[in-house]
Amino acid sequence: MFPEHAPLDANQRAALSTVLSSLQPMQKVWLSGYLAAGATAGTSAAAAPAQSTPLTVLYGTESGNAEGLADKLTKTAKKKGFKAVMKNMAEIEPASLAKAENLLVIVSTWGDGEPPESAEAFYKELMTKTVDLKGLKYSVCALGDTSYDKFCETGKEMDARFETLGAERVLARVDCDVDFDDSYAAWEKEAFTILAPAAPEVAPAMMDFGAFAVGGVEYSKKNPFPSEVLESVLLNGEGSAKETVHIELSLEGSGLEYEAGDALAVVPENCAQVVADILSLTKLSGDAEVELKGGEKVSFKEALASHLDITALSRAVLKKYQAIAQSEELEKLLADDAKEALKDWMWGRQVIDALESFPAKELSEQQLVSVLRKLPPRLYSIASSPKAHPGEVHLTVAAVRYDAHERARKGVASTYIADEAKVGEKVAVYVHKNKNFRLPESGDVPVIMVGPGTGIAPFRAFIEERGELEAKGGTWLFFGDQKYTFDFLYQLELQDHLKSGALTKLDVAFSRDQPEKVYVQDKIREQAAELYTWLEKGAHFYVCGDASRMASDVHDALVEVVAEQGKKSQEEAEAYVDVLKKEKRYQRDVY
């Protein structure tokens, strides 16, 4: 139970083991706090240099990563003696930062270089209004994804704007890719050193009660849980153009907990055929030993199969590869004035296409490893309520398959789930909290849900949750897909929920069943009067699904409904919808 280096003799270890094994979880939490308080009390005098150092931790989040890091940063700062407070961009205005002295910002970029939805109002005001921030010391940690052109754009813009408004940048901005742990940790460490060099470390053994977990293992991003596949079912009927899989996974023995609205992160394996194709094309040895970021040594084949992103192309990946390939053609595509040409070339292509189109004269296994980024986990909206399915978690996944540039392509995680995650197999997972996508606390509050295609996933969870709680508020679902006969996902379940009352109202749109296309936004307009009545009665409005078109079309339809039914101007309707967002009555889980 205790590590060998723990400062305890054999008798103390035996005594503590006996005591800890008899405690309930909440008793262990209390004892953790008690011990931590004692440790802190013993270092209070030493912590004095940092006690007078105020710190504001500001975050803007879309999927929850920025919020999780901000929470970690704040807790660590308090342990070091800072007077730290955490602020959500959704809940403050830029002018309030004029009163702050030290500011650490963690913000993600979403979509095509856009700020997180919850931070839109803060971002717009910061970028357009003049605020005197002289005297404020700051640094920014930007989260993003190098597969997008405008990598970390929101963080970059905010960083520049703070400086323009008079704030002093005390530490250069760090731009983090999806594998952000190491770069974030280095930024955090340096930030604390700069802001309060005398701040001591608090003894981690006393503060981290996880070290005393009785026979327990904490499953997380760094240590995902090997979850057994309980069931895998194709939801589409024969003849459908789609392939949507319902998969049920076991959480028994994991200690993982989730709420309706959360996501499950799946750590996939790359397709064996893609690995084989890369080895064949490059003539590299799959048995050669390579070193991964962090120092772990594995075979090159294992690195390609389990550790590296061997499909997604980005400008960042191509620039690294060009340093090795020295291709004149690729150099032209990477020129600053050729961004559109590069974007056109990358469309539908993957890493293997770059290796084939711009062959390097000399390329080693380790060099290719250095070019590729870590294989990122994929987040899927959870499609089950833990109250309805204790010990299980369900997903609704659309398998992505297509042909492009004379080569068959597969979505990495979606086809891994569809093809490899058979009943009885294990899939590495962990829970990703999404506090920005939650049912109202009261079951008396009505909810309106818009989820076409796999966007239905979290709403299946919401409906199950409301059913288990016997919620009295109305529950209204707008669902859409291509064809009624083949693509009505969870049709029988939804009909059962209508009978039981867990689902009050269901409107469906099947775009390919008639000459004219009909989508969920069209059904929203058809139901304008009743929908506005529900909003006026306090209903929460949710959207899940495609961000590029559906979500914006639904948003426009919502504004139109408010304008028409509320007799409001366009500006007044948009303000009404903005209030819904601020009150967390309009929430979106889009991708």
Answer with the residue of higher pLDDT: 27 or 452. Answer: 452
Q: Which two tokens stand for residue 58?
A: 């500001």
pLDDT of residue 12: 64
Residues in the chain: 591
Measured between alpha carbons, how far is 184 from 200 in angstroms, rounded to an integer?
A: 20
With cut-offs at 50, 70 and 90, classify the pLDDT of residue 585.
very high
pLDDT tops 70 at residue 33: no
What local confidence, expressed as pLDDT, does residue 440 receive? 97
Task: Find the angle CA(355)-CA(361)-CA(363) to the nearest 5 degrees.
Answer: 65
Question: Residue 192 has what pLDDT?
Answer: 93
As a whole number, mean pLDDT of residues 72-79 equals 93
pLDDT at 18: 60
Identify the H or E element spanning 141: strand 137-143
CB 533 within 8 A of CB 577: no
- Per-residue model confidence as pLDDT tens digits over 417-461: 999 999 999 999 999 999 889 999 999 999 999 999 999 999 999
Residue 591: pLDDT band with limits 50, 70, 90? confident
Output the pLDDT for position 44: 39
> Which tens digit of pLDDT belongs to each residue from 220-264?
888 999 999 999 999 999 989 999 999 999 999 999 999 999 999
Does the pLDDT value for residue 337 go beyond 80?
A: yes
Architecture per CATH, 10-204: 3-Layer(aba) Sandwich (3.40)
pLDDT at 538: 98
Strands 263-267 and 426-432: antiparallel
Residue 25 has pLDDT above 70, yes or no: no
pLDDT for 26 beyond 80: no
pLDDT at 214: 33
Give the pLDDT of residue 547. Answer: 85
Domain covering 225-268+377-432: architecture: Beta Barrel (2.40)
Q: DSSP alpha helices (H): ranges in 196-251?
A: 204-207
The residue-averaged pLDDT of 176-180 equals 88
Is residue 55 classed as helix, strand or coil in its secondary structure? strand
Q: How far is CA 179 from the centre of its chain?
A: 12
pTM of the entire structure? 0.84
For tokens 């994991």, what's the residue? 254
Strands 505-510 and 54-60: unpaired
pLDDT greater than 80 at residue 207: no
Residues 472-515: tens digit of each pLDDT: 999 999 999 999 999 999 999 999 999 999 999 999 999 999 99
Is the pLDDT at 216 greater than 80? The verdict is no
Considering only 141-150, 333-342, 421-430, which range has the smallest mean pLDDT?
A: 141-150
| pLDDT band at 202; cut points 50, 70, 90 | very low
Distance in angstroms (rounded) separating the CA atoms of residues 290 and 113? 34
Instruction: Indicate the average pLDDT of the chain.
Output: 89
- Give domain 272-371's CATH number out of 1.10.3720.10, 3.40.50.150, 3.40.50.720, 1.20.990.10: 1.20.990.10
**Is pLDDT of 215 > 60?**
no
Per residue in 86-120, pLDDT (tens digit) is 999 998 999 999 999 999 999 999 877 899 988 98
Q: Which residues are CB-contacts of 174 (< 8 A; sequence separation ≥ 6)?
A: 140, 141, 142, 183, 184, 186, 187
Same CATH fold assignment for domains 10-204 and 272-371: no
Largest interatomic CA distance in the chain: 80
Q: What is the pLDDT of residue 484?
A: 96
Q: Which residue has the tokens 């897909």?
A: 481
What pLDDT does 146 receive? 85
pLDDT tens-digit series, residues 264-312: 999 999 999 999 999 999 999 999 999 998 899 999 999 999 999 999 9
29 or 148, higher pLDDT: 148
| Amino acid 19: pLDDT | 61
Contact (Cβ atoms closer than 8 angstroms) between residue 589 and residue 543: yes
The domains of the chain are located at 10-204, 225-268+377-432, 272-371, 447-590
Reply yes or no on whether the pLDDT at 199 is more than 60: no
Closest to 479 in 3D by CA, of 443, 502, 446, 511: 511
The per-residue pLDDT for 429 is: 98
Q: What topology does CATH give the domain 447-590?
A: Rossmann fold (3.40.50)
Q: Is 133 left (phi over 0), alpha (psi -120 to 50) or beta?
A: alpha
- pLDDT of 205 above 80: no
Quick one: which H or E segment has residue 65? Answer: helix 65-79
Q: How far apart are CA 440 and CA 63, in angstroms?
A: 19
Judged against a pLDDT cut of 50, whether residue 521 lies above it is answered with: yes
